[in-house]
A and B are shown apart, each in its own frame.
Chain A
Amino acid sequence: MSAPGRVVSISGLTKSFKTGVTALQEIDLDIRPGEFVSLIGPSGCGKSTLLRIVGDLVQPTSGTVLVNGKTAHRARLDHDYGIVFQDSVLYDWRTVSRNVSLPLEMLGWSRARRKERVREMLELVELTGFESNRPWQLSGGMQQRVSIARALSFDPALLLMDEPFGALDEMTRERLNMELLRIWEKAASTIVFVTHSIPEAVFLSTRVVVMSARPGRIADVVDVDLPQPRGAETREQPRFFELVTAVREALAAGGRGQPAPTLPAGTEERY
């Protein structure tokens, strides 16, 4: 049953809502260990739904999702997921360090082990010194870093991120993009990242999955061959712009609706 070398293995996945709307249709996608995969697409293309189905927070109508060869449900109960939402979802009644240790408490870690891990994680996201602050005393960017520290604290097999930087200003966003890449390399994790920012998707990912809307399906997959490690200069490379253009064109093609792409070359200019 298990697909070797696959963290996530999605096949024939369809999701229809009771209202009759088909959110996702016939999705096939494999994600290898250590990959950074972005899901990008217009609003309503089902990218967040797809992420939630992978995380077993939403049930698919048909098709299968395997995570490390297990069902998504089993994987969730096995604590294989770290999740970061657009909203940092920190609990006001817990200090920063107790927010980070929340999943560890649920896993039954000892106090000493939790303390040590929280220290490491806060160091990783550069928030040492804010242990006893309350979440609402931090800026939006800092809150999101706490949320990332919490998601990574228990070394989940898969990090699911649903537009984690969508609510932040451009400067904070670019800074956190760099930080996320640094963390990704250090933690050697596999990341599925939902975004609707094309440069963000290209900058971060090893692969960009371009989705089209109504019904949501995979329109194209763009391999990002930018060299690692990436930095501020990556955004200035000609290859970066080429890839941004490739994703943009794939989005435009998908936006016309399926079946695509059958229009003659050069038609893109009209859009």
Chain B
Amino acid sequence: MEPVPPGVVRAIGGRFVDWLPALAVFALGLALWQGLTTAFNVQTFLLPKPTDIATAFWNDRGTLWDYGLYTLKEAAGGFAMGCSAGILVALLLARFRGLGLALLPFAIAANAIPIIAFAPITNNWFGLLNPVSKMVIAAVLCFFPTMINTLRGLTSVHPSSIELMRSYGGGELAVFRRVRIPNALPFMFTGLKVSAVLSMIGAIVGEYFGGPTNALGVSILNDSQLFDFPRAWAGIMLASAFGIAFYAAVSVAERLTTSWHPSARTFRSE
């Protein structure tokens, strides 16, 4: 019955003009990179020219793309595991405050552990060629930001909002369903967006410690060891592009589900 919310249009990318400044900076950066590496005759193994990287990618586009997709799948798997665990734990901690008080210090302490150092160990646990070994690294990286942001959203509820539900005879379940969870959505998406990027990093780094040859991280590592730096750079660029695309996909999902949020729309006065 409601018209298509204007948030949807914004979600898909907004107006082209809004992107112009960023595009200009991007083009300028590429031009400077190209110009300076050419002018100072920078060695390829130090920093290849953008055109060299582009050529390397183009020559091997099919293979690199497939490698990228393989790694993206690992990242997405880890993202799904880590984020759902993070949301679940946040719900439990918000519901049972005592549990939160007991466990939260450990969760915060655990966040200080350099998770990436566990990559060789998960490779050992799940097998070098098993994608699960990389997913676990990505999942552990995603868990904390999702959990802590969701928890903040679930708990930063105006006390009157809860009194209101109580005045209608609503219990804990009603408070969660109608107040805490909707209130937590924008916070949760902040965590998910951070996690989207982290999951790609986790997968790539996991692959550095060994993995199948059709994985992007393994390919980048091999290329640099074989002094094929333009191809290694092409791999890095592709990994970044996939990371950004993943982030953008989560952003679109955010805009679609939280189009009600004041930040999503313009003001209308009385």
A1 CB-CB contact with B under 8 Å = no
B174 CB-CB contact with A under 8 Å = yes
Q: Which residues of B contact A55 (CB under 8 A)?
A: 167
Q: Which residues of B contact A94 (CB under 8 A)?
A: 260
| CB nearest neighbor in B for A105 | B178
CA of A56 to CA of B269 in the docked complex: distance in angstroms?
37
Supposing A137-B268, A138-B270 touch, asked if A89 and B164 sit within 8 A by C-beta, the answer is yes
The answer to whether A91 and B182 touch across the interface, beta carbons within 8 angstroms, is: yes
Q: State the Cβ distance, A58 to closest chain B Cβ, in Å.
A: 9
CA of A136 to CA of B178 in the docked complex: distance in angstroms?
18
CA of A136 to CA of B268 in the docked complex: distance in angstroms?
9
The answer to whether B261 and A92 touch across the interface, beta carbons within 8 angstroms, is: yes
| CB nearest neighbor in A for B262 | A136
CA of A76 to CA of B167 in the docked complex: distance in angstroms?
6
B-facing mask of A83-95, CB < 8 A → 1, else 0?
1010101011111
The size of the chain A interface, using a CB distance under 8 A, is 32
A21 CB-CB contact with B under 8 Å = no
The answer to whether A133 and B260 touch across the interface, beta carbons within 8 angstroms, is: no
Q: Which residues of A contact B2 (CB under 8 A)?
A: 95, 132
CA of A17 to CA of B184 in the docked complex: distance in angstroms?
31
The answer to whether A76 and B169 touch across the interface, beta carbons within 8 angstroms, is: yes
The answer to whether B174 and A106 touch across the interface, beta carbons within 8 angstroms, is: yes
Supposing A76-B167, A79-B168, A83-B163 touch, asked if A91 and B179 sit within 8 A by C-beta, the answer is yes
CA of A62 to CA of B83 in the docked complex: distance in angstroms?
48
Supposing A87-B160, A106-B174, A132-B2 touch, asked if A78 and B182 sit within 8 A by C-beta, the answer is no
A134 CB-CB contact with B under 8 Å = yes
Q: Which residues of B contact A267 (CB under 8 A)?
A: none
B-facing mask of A118-155, CB < 8 A → 1, else 0?
00000000000000111011110010000000000000
| CB nearest neighbor in A for B3 | A132
Give the contacts of A65-101 with B (CB-CB under 8 A): 76-79, 81-83, 85, 87, 89, 91-95
CA of A136 to CA of B161 in the docked complex: distance in angstroms?
15
Supposing A87-B160, A92-B260, A92-B261 touch, asked if A57 and B167 sit within 8 A by C-beta, the answer is yes
Give the contacts of B148-204 with A (CB-CB under 8 A): 158, 160-161, 163-164, 166-170, 174, 178-179, 182-183, 185
The answer to whether A89 and B168 touch across the interface, beta carbons within 8 angstroms, is: no
The answer to whether B182 and A83 touch across the interface, beta carbons within 8 angstroms, is: no
A103 CB-CB contact with B under 8 Å = yes
Supposing A134-B265, A137-B268 touch, asked if A93 and B164 sit within 8 A by C-beta, the answer is no
Q: State the Cβ distance, B174 to closest chain A Cβ, in Å.
A: 7
18 contacts between A and B (CB under 8 A): A76-B166, A78-B169, A83-B163, A83-B167, A85-B164, A87-B160, A89-B161, A91-B178, A91-B182, A93-B185, A93-B260, A94-B260, A106-B168, A134-B260, A136-B262, A136-B267, A139-B269, A139-B270
Chain B residues in the interface with A (C-beta under 8 A):
2, 158, 160-161, 163-164, 166-170, 174, 178-179, 182-183, 185, 258, 260-262, 265, 267-270
